[in-house]
Amino acid sequence: MRTATAIAAAVRSGEASAASLAARALDALRADSHVAVTRVLAERAMAEASAVDARIARGEDAGPLAGVPYALKDLFDVEGLPTTAGSAARAKEPAAAADAEAVRRLQAAGAVLCATVNMDAFAYGFATVNADYGTTRNPHDLARLAGGSSGGSAAVVAAGLVPLALGSDTNGSVRVPASLCGLYGLRPARGDMPVAGTYPFAESFDEIGPFAADLGDLALVWEVLRGGAVAPSAAAPRIARLGGRFRANADPAQLAAIDVIAPDAPLLVLPDVPRARSAAFVITAYEGGHLHREALKADPFGYDPAVRDRLIAGALQPHALYERALAFRTEYVARIEALVSDFDVLLAPSAPCAAPLIADPMILIDGEPSPARANLGIHT
């Protein structure tokens, strides 16, 4: 599939119609072999594409993403559909009354929504192993994981079914599948993109982010979602490589690539990384567990078993521990901001290894076999 930038240019010039491109994308999504697509939105896609073609026929600006097909992780509200958040139990919930804000902005820019895609249930995992909707497969090797929790979003882009997809990232759920599927993925700065209308996991950390196979496409969708471009700096970026824990659990080929990119960049060691990761997990587990506490009491067996047990554990955490983790976070952010203030770019792995095998979803962490679902985000 062509890049989103090329597709939009072809639609605006009249070289291609948005309707024909949507029909082609819908056919590809229906034939998906990666266990990535949960719903093909043919009626909506064709209506949006026809609206784009009508704007062009009237001589109007159809937007920077005119006619570009895209997919959504199944936790964004889509008007008229229940927001499942990766759980079949939520398929019986009332339909969303309106689109998520990110969906509204993409539609205003001319993009065409074609499908919703698979995820770890309630975004709790790094593997997109879903008891209800199946395990998403990596397009580069169907025997391997695509990563998660936004694995469906990564897979449909890596497979060339659509040029863009949206995911969410709490503790690495865009960055990990982007790495394992060979894509560009972005977790933005806090508050840089609209999260309204997305099903939460842990609101202290939740962000949305795009996937693209082309860096120009990633920049374009980022500008659309954040509501404007940022002027690039004329100065060369100041680069550092992250050392310490970020080199302790990484494929040697990754580290070699980082060292080739910036051989003279200083090696920066961040303090207390294991403690910071533990604090992040405490906050995540507590917020996620308490969000689901009443639903777990009412219907615990409606939950994916692997996710249910983790949510119950989070709901049972004492509030005092959560408060300690929040206090540590505030202090730690200040320390890190002071430490990295002289740099614009920090180079580090997004995942510790190549995509694990679905049949043996274990990875080595500190030399010991560890579950991929919980530990692929060790660097994020």
**And the tokens for 270?**
């961040």
Residue 189: count of CB within 10 angstroms of its CB: 9
> 173 an active-site residue?
yes
Closest listed residue to residue 114, CA positions, set 151, 156, 61: 156
Q: Which residues pair with 208 in a beta bridge?
A: 168
Q: Which of 73, 168, 179, 350 is catalytic?
A: 73
Q: Count the alpha carbons within 13 Å of 197 in the hemisphere toward its beta carbon.
A: 21
For residue 147, how far is the Cα from the chain centroid?
Answer: 10
Q: Which of 17, 87, 149, 153 is catalytic?
A: 149
Start-to-end CA span in the chain (Å): 30
Any alpha helices (H) in the chain, and if so which ranges?
4-13, 18-30, 42-57, 101-108, 151-158, 175-181, 215-226, 245-248, 252-261, 273-291, 293-298, 305-315, 319-340, 372-375
Q: Which of 17, 153, 173, 350 is catalytic?
A: 173
Report the chain's C-alpha Rg in angstroms.
Answer: 21
**CA 272 – CA 200 distance, rounded (Å):** 28
> 13 an active-site residue?
no
Residue 231: count of CB within 10 angstroms of its CB: 5
Largest separation between any pair of C-alpha atoms in the chain:
63
Residue 126: count of CB within 10 angstroms of its CB: 30
Residues involved in catalysis = 73, 149, 173
